Structure 1
Amino acid sequence: MKRALGIILACLWGVGGLFFTHSPAQAVTTLKLGTIDSPMSALGQGLGVFSKLVEEKTKGQVKINVGYSSAFGGWAALLSSVEMGSVDMMVEDIGGWEFFDPALRIIRFAYVYRDYDHYLKYLNSSVLEESKKKILGRGHHFLLPNKDAVWARGPYRVLASKKPIYTADDVKGLKLRLYESETAKKVWGQALGANITIIPWGETYLALKQGMVEAVTSPLDSLYDIKFTEVCKYVTEIKEFFQNQTVTINTKKWQSFSPAIQKALTDAATETARTMNTRLYAQVEKDMQRMTDDHGAAFIRVSTKSFQEKVKPYVDELENQNFWPKGLYGRIQEIK
């Protein structure tokens, strides 16, 4: 009997270690994700959440290496890097992809959307789907926004300045730091008359402190982390356009993953968006109080009517110049 039992056990061991061995460890894929924001910013904290969720949902098969504060390049460089595959992923406001599709220029034009609900409907419309297909052709697959979630940013935009801004006339001649965007140049330079200087985000605080510029536009949730209100004591709600955090991944890298991993990445992005959206307003309220207490900042709420009146005449002009596709503004207004 003992001899027979020994033979059985030996056979089981010989058949691939059926009961007693473990399968080899699966290879781990580390994805490089670039952002211009710091680890302590609202976006930076959200990417920490995303990284943990990705590792959890893929059971450790995929990890995220975040290059904060432009460690993998500024957002314009990241567009090319993700397209080529030298960086796997990036996060930026969706308007940043205007360099790949002129139709997206309209996102950063001022006062296109009636309200945030109108903007959300645009994000889920066939109009934006046309742009997403073009961007896919440039090597970027969208994880966010998707049909289940939009990662809000801001929750609105402001103008931080060294002097109070109450109307559009106060912007004329203002020395304004701006990001690289043809649309933003049209709005702030041509329509509103500011004197524009293009300065990388990470260099803006020093430019403000040294007097190179005297104002900067920004999402509200970015102000405290980067300490703009140490220099710019006045913060005006301008709300010229809505923003959302957009997450893309190199298309070839995306296609290399199994359906299960693709689902895990999408689910992690969706869950991150929902988590950060619930935190946004509480965090912004806390930041505003800190800016008031620590920096002596004053928050100014104004009617945007004078800004809208200055900007609106440029819609037809830009369409006639094919700055964005003709009829695009009307198509967006028809979204209900």
Structure 2
Amino acid sequence: MNKGDVQLKEFTNAKILALFLALILVIASGCSSSSSNEETGNTGSSSDDSGSNEETFTITLAHSGPSEGTGIQEALLKLKNEIEEKSDGRIKFELYPNGQLGGEREVLEGVQNGNITATFTTTGVAGNFVPEMEIFDIPFVLESKEQARHAIREGGPVLEKLGPKFEEKGLKLLGFGDEGFRVLSTKDLPVKSVEDLKGLKVRTQESSNHIDAWNALETNPTPIPFPELYTALQQGTVDAQETPFEIIAMSKLYEVQKYAIDMKMVYQYFPIMMNLEFYQSLPDDLKAIVDDCFSEALQNAIAFTDERDEEYVKTLEDNGVEVSEITGEGLKPFREKAQPIVLKNVREKIGDELVDLYLEEASSK
């Protein structure tokens, strides 16, 4: 091979090598761009001239209540459709009722640490996380729904003071609903006086104030998560419990209880709470949709329950439950035994200001 042939061969090899290296650079650049898009979540098509995508969010709401028939569950089913429609699919809503993801306390812990997006609980359980909620544990304060709703009305002083307290605990308070007064139901004893309560095994919420109140009434209180309540009543672990008429009817507790006594001990408010970090991560337009839809859902839940109050009582009576009520002066012995100890506990824990404000608002209606 002469010198010219050698030079031509070297030139050709160099050219092939250069083209090969250029091809590798192009491929590497494409992979890098694809990887960057995956890491930033930009896997969809762009929604505007800037090339950025509208992020989607999933709200997972879990609770311990029945999976059908209650005001709040029916309202949440409607909420799912509305919030997904109004957000044009940017918010997905997943609903897990009936304790599927745990009891009230367990689920609220999940919301606080971000594993679950949102929940509603009884105020007794919420008080374990936000001590100021314990104002609602004070027994025999309220005598009517009108009083109860006035005390916690939207825009009122009590609600305005509670909102920041939730945020301190990593929770966003979206509002309050209610299911009326908690009703004592028993297996064998038609309670008519405070003396009838002595020695009664009562299932209570997981709340020290509720336990103290029932201890003061000389019962044997036992905290049991709601999903385990029916079995506990059936097996005789406890022989009494207290939940609103709606819950007794829809959870079929009438199958293992014979008497229901409306003694207006504690009102069943339920706060709906969301993980604060998740809420703050939402764009402003989605925050507005969340606020509006949840507020409407709570009002729908209250209206649903109110419309069916008599129906729930009739369901109990049709299934052999004797329904009675203790009112007025008849409640005085109960109040004198149970209220002072809880009132003292709550004042010591959170101070007088919010307690006095709540009592004032409750009595002003």
* Bucket of the pairwise TM-score, normalised by the shorter protein: 0.7 to 0.9
Partner of 2:66: 38
Query: Matches of residues 81-92 of structure 1 in structure 2 within 5 Å?
Result: 81-92=110-121
Q: Contact 2:124–2:206 at 8 Å: present in 1 too? A: no
> In the alignment, which residue of structure 1 is the partner of 2:209?
183
Return the index of the structure with the highest Cα Rg: 2
CA RMSD of aligned residues (A): 2.3
Contact 2:103 2:227 in 1 (8 A): no
* Secondary structure of residue in 2 paired with 1:313: helix
Q: CA deviation at 1:65?
A: 0.7
Work out the CA distance in 1 between the residues paired with 2:73 and 2:147. Answer: 27
Q: What secondary structure sits across from 1:86 in the alignment?
A: coil
How has the CA–CA distance of structure 1 residues 131 and 210 changed in structure 2, closer, same or farther, with 3 Å as cutoff?
same
How far has the Cα of 1:180 moved from its partner?
A: 0.6
2:172 maps to 1:141: yes
Q: Is the 8 A contact 1:229 1:297 kept in 2?
A: yes
Distance 1:239 1:227, change over 3 A: same
Contact 1:34 1:72 in 2 (8 A): yes
Tell whether the 8 Å contact from 1:95 to 1:107 is kept in structure 2 after alignment: yes
Distance in 2 between residues matched to 1:235 and 1:174, nearest whole Å: 14
Contact 1:319 1:327 in 2 (8 A): no
Q: CA deviation at 1:215?
A: 0.3
Task: Quote the residue 1:232 is aligned against.
Answer: 257
Cross-structure match for 2:269: 244
The alignment status of 1:68 with 2:97, answered yes or no, reads yes
Please give the alpha-carbon distance, in whole angstroms, between the structure 2 residues aligned to 1:214 and 1:232. Answer: 8
* Alignment gaps of 5+ in structure 2: 1-44
In the alignment, the residues of structure 2 paired with residue 278 and residue 76 of structure 1 have an alpha-carbon distance, to the nearest angstrom, of 27
Q: Is the 8 A contact 1:113 1:333 kept in 2?
A: no
Partners of 1:237 and 1:114 lie apart in 2 by 11
8 Å contact 1:29–1:63 — kept in the other structure?
yes
Equivalent pairs counted in the alignment come to 307
Please, which moves more after superposition, 305-314 or 232-241? 305-314
> How much has 1:158 moved relative to structure 2?
0.3
**Aligned counterpart in structure 2 of residue 55 of structure 1, from 84, 88, 94:** 84
How far apart, in 2, do the equivalents of 1:104 and 1:152 lie?
Answer: 14
What is the deviation of 1:57? 1.8
Determine the structure 2 residue equivalent to 1:129: 160
Q: Does 1:111 align with 2:137?
A: no
Q: Which amino acid aligns with 1:268?
A: C
2:280 alignment counterpart:
255
SS in 2 for 1:312: helix
Asked if 2 retains the 8 angstrom alpha-carbon contact of 1:112 and 1:329, the reply is no
- Given that residues 138 and 339 in structure 2 are in contact (C-alpha distance below 8 angstroms), is that contact kept between their aligned partners in structure 1? no
One-letter amino acid matched to 2:308: Q
Give the alignment partner of residue 309 of structure 2, picking from 284, 287, 308. Answer: 284
Mapped pair 1:296 → 2:296? no
**Residues in 1 aligned to 2:349 and 2:214: alpha-carbon distance in whole angstroms:** 16
Distance 2:132 2:211 in 1: 16
**Over 6 Å off, 4+ runs:** none
Cα displacement string for residues 204-257 of structure 1 (whole angstroms, at most 9, x for unaligned residues): 111111111110010111011211111111000021122233211111111111
Change (3 A) 1:245 1:51: farther
Change over 3 Å in CA distance of 1:108–1:229 after alignment to 2: same
Deviations 1:269-314 (A, max 9, x none): 1221222222213323222222222x21111112223311222332
Distance 1:264 1:238, change over 3 A: same
Give the Å deviation of 1:203: 1.1
In structure 2, relative to structure 1, the CA distance for the partners of 1:317 and 1:274 (3 Å cut) is closer
Distance 1:274 1:334, change over 3 A: closer
- Whether the 8 Å contact between 1:50 and 1:268 is mirrored in structure 2 is yes
